[in-house]
Every structure is written in structure tokens, then in C-alpha cells.
A = this chain, B = another copy of it.
Amino acid sequence: MTQNIYDTTEFFEGYSQLPRSLAGFEGAPEWPAMQAILPPLTNTRVADLGCGFGWFCRWAGEQRASEILGLDVSENMLARAKEMTSQSNIEYLRADLEELSLQPDSYDIVYSSLTFHYLANLDSLLANVYQALKPGGWLVFSAEHPIFTAPSNPGWISSSQKRTVWPVDQYLVEGQRKTDWFATGVIKQHRTLSTYLNMLITHGFNLKHLNEWKPDSEQIRLQPELAQELERPMFFIAAAQRL
């Protein structure tokens, strides 16, 4: 079972105060890039893996998706999601994504935001997602970029030239990374970009788009601190299709 850090009080209280938790897409600067590669949602059946507070599920409802399933391991997050949701075609279920078994040939779109880097057994999840999609269906997901997850000491450093750099090491040493983020010992899985993409390809997906997210100039104008995100990618977004 995946570490359920979201249900520890310390982590949940911190995480709940993040812009993306309070304001949803308004606080998630990568959302416009993700939205841009999503297919139209009207009359689609959608699953959201790691739905959190349900921001995407409610947005999918507004886009007139016909049925929306939000899955998450965190009881706290699902409870908050349900409180904020009034649409009747959205269902939230607690699930361990590493042991997921979605119905075959059922979904038009499987979506997942910043969840896959927590899963050790991503391979079996992707196998399940592939068969759960209808032919022509889409998997659109984001995850922390391997440049961001790799370092043994993830944090900006000032090099001797007085530039601020991101200290990459262990990029090709895949596996668990422990970081302190709202709580100590948050466990992530570091995988290279090629491992993510080859997993998709091996399961039969056709890679249609990859985005190593960066802020655009308008976002930097409004939030100057985002300029630092040009130095190294924090997230990547991928869109892949079942043929």
C-alpha cells in the first residue's frame, strides 16, 4: 500500500494551505498547459487518479463529462472533496491506486495530477489504465519531473559563479527518495523520464505529447518568483492514447 501521508495531521494541515489546495486551478500554474492537451470532455466517462479535493472532477462536470469517478487514498481529502461537490454525476471512492482494478473498455479519459511519483508499482497501474480505456481513449497525467525528484539534497544552491543552480545527482539511480515537505519522511519514487515513457509504450500507449512545464511570460509578470522555474522543470505532463 502506498504511504498515505495525506492523512497525517501535520501533512494535511500544511498541504491544505497550499495555493493549489485553497484555490484549485488558480493556484496550480501548470494547469493551463494540462488543460491545453486534454481532449474535449463533453459526454465522456472520466476517472481521476489521486483526485485530492476534487478540483478536476468538478471542472470535468462543468465541461459536461457524463460520468466522473474520483479516486484517492486519503480519507481527509475525499471528505473535503465531497463537501465541495454538488454535481450528482461525480462519485468519489477511496482506493489504493497500486491495487486498482478499473472496468475494461470503460473510460474515455483517465486523468492524474501529481500522483504517479508517489506510486512504487506504477507499472501495474498503467496496465490497468490501458485496458480500462476505450480504444482511442486518453491518459493525461502530470508528475514531478525526474530532475526535481533525483537529487539527494533537493534544494537550490549557489554555485561559485554566484548563479543559483539545481544540484542534480543520482538521476540514473532510480528508487525511493525521502524528503521533508510539511512532514518528515515523505516518500517519493524517482524514475527517469525514459522509464515513464517506455512504460507507457510497453503497455501499448501511443505518446502524443510531452510537456516539461515552464511558466509563460504572462505568468512570470504576475508572479515574478515563477521565473526561477525556468532553471529546472518541477513537473512534466504527458498525453498518451490507447489505439
Chain A interface residues (CB < 8 Å from chain B):
147, 151-153, 157, 159-161, 163-173, 192-194, 197-198, 201, 206-212, 214, 229-233, 236
Contact = CB atoms under 8 A, between A and B. Distances in A.
A193 B210 contact: yes
15 contacts: A157-B165, A163-B167, A168-B231, A169-B231, A170-B231, A171-B231, A171-B232, A171-B233, A172-B212, A172-B232, A172-B233, A192-B212, A194-B211, A201-B207, A201-B208
Contacts of A193: 193, 210, 212
Pick the 10 closest A-B CB pairs, nearest first. Answer: A165-B167, A172-B214, A194-B210, A166-B168, A169-B231, A172-B230, A194-B212, A165-B169, A168-B232, A171-B232
Contacts of A163: 152-153, 167, 169
Contacts of A232: 168-169, 171-172
Nearest to A161: B153
A205 to B, nearest CB: 10
Contacts of A229: 172
A165 B194 contact: no
A167 B166 contact: yes
Given A170-B230, A171-B232, 6 more contacts: A159-B167, A165-B167, A165-B169, A168-B231, A171-B231, A193-B193
